[in-house]
Amino acid sequence: MFSPRKLYELERERNALASRFADLQRQRAAELQLLDGLGEALLAIDADRRVVIANRRFIDLFGGMDHVGKRLTEVLRVADVLESFDRALGGEEVTCRFGVRSGVVERRIEMRAQPIASTTIAVVALFIDVSKIELLEQIRRNFISDFSHEVRTPLAGLRSAVETLEHNSDRLSPEDDKQLRRIMARQLRRLERLVDDLSELSRIESGDLTLDIRPVELRPILDDLVEDFAEQSVQHRVRFEVRGEGSAIADSNRLQQAFSNLIDNAIKYGGDDHRITIDIRDGEVRVSDEGEGIAPPEREKIFHRFYRIDKTIPGSGLGLAITKHLVLQQRGTIDVESKPGHGATFIVRLPRPAATPQRPSEASR
């Protein structure tokens, strides 16, 4: 039998142990919470390749639950990943990239595995979603190759004109001389336009644009634009028909810029001697031409920067990319409808003012 004093000491030790145990549990819970709060997925395994920690982000990314205690091969089945864990267990720091399907999207993941000198954890690995970074890397590569391609054509034209002038200046007729200078001026204008459009696009894309968003009447904006295009429309024998009216919450200058690109294209691709119709209804504007139209596979691509269906028609291929960004930044949408051979219709939909009075036809419905 224990003496009362001994019993008292044992009780005190038991309480101290219980309190220490509670402290440890609280500490572990806090650590797990910290790991769950981590933006990246984390998995830790022991020397027997059993899971010790799998944070919440890991479960979001790879599915399943209650991974702790499971074998690594039950949790992850990607051969490259398992091999990387093997190498990390051998004492190496390893990085590898792999794809994982999450719902309908394929994500690109970078895994960084690191050996840990501890009794419970042998390897800890972070899984970082690099899909966005890879996409941006791809966009950057495409951009550089597209841009060099676009610049090369006017530069080649300029170089050949300059060389002809340089080597044959005393043998050229005044007409040839004039023509060469015209070519040079045209190619220079092409380069200038490319650079101007590009810097405008980059300004818009970077969000470096202050918008003056307020309720605007759409009809006056489009009427003014049609007037601005008077000279071009005479030159191409284009007739404008503007119908309807409507209002939107938008920046009128930026809207003007967006519609100006659409009208410019309608004149350019609508062919000579044709009609351009502009239909306004509520917050929607439809710009239609009677040109060749746009085949279904091209309809999305024409909004990509530098994309041109017919490369022989001069243009920077940036107008629609600029227009789309302008419309999106004003919380609108842009679509194109077309029956190839029968023209194209560009449809811009914009947010409408909350207190837009109903049109009489609507009110009576």
Q: Which is nearer to ligand ADP, 154 or 291 (CB)?
A: 291
The stretch among 29-37, 116-124, 252-260, 262-270 that binds ligand ADP (CB under 6 A) is 262-270
Q: With beta carbons less than 8 A apart as the criterion, state whether 263 and 285 touch.
A: no
Among 45, 88, 248, 318, contact with ligand ADP (rule: CB under 6 A):
318
Helix residue spans in 38-89 (DSSP H):
56-62, 72-75, 79-89
Q: Tell me how many residues contact ligand ADP (CB under 6 A).
A: 20
- Candidates 7, 22, 47, 309; binder of ligand ADP (CB under 6 A) is 309
Scored b (16 or more CB within 10 A) or e, 93-125 reads: ebebebebeeeeeebbbbbbbebeeeeeebbbb
- In the block, residue with structure tokens 């028909």: 241
122 contacts ligand ADP (rule: CB under 6 A): no
Q: How far is the CB of 182 from ligand ADP (least distance, A)?
A: 21
**Cβ contact 327:204 at 8 Å:** no
Q: Which is nearer to ligand ADP, 77 or 152 (CB)?
A: 152
User: Within a 10 A sphere around the Cβ of 200, how many other Cβ atoms?
Assistant: 18
Interacting residues of 132 by C-beta distance below 8 A, sequence separation 6+ = none
By rule CB under 6 A, what string of x and - marks binding of each residue 89-118 to ligand ADP?
------------------------------
Integer Rg of the chain from CA: 33
Given the complex with ligand ADP, which of 111 and 332 has the nearer CB atom?
Answer: 332
Q: Is 344 in the site for ligand ADP (CB under 6 A)?
A: yes
Within 265-294, the residues that bind ligand ADP by CB under 6 A are 265-266, 269, 289, 291, 294
Angle at 193 between CA 223 and CA 347, to 5 degrees: 40
Binding of residue 317 to ligand ADP (CB under 6 A): yes
Q: Which residues bind ligand ADP (CB under 6 A)?
A: 261, 265-266, 269, 289, 291, 294, 302, 307-310, 315-321, 344
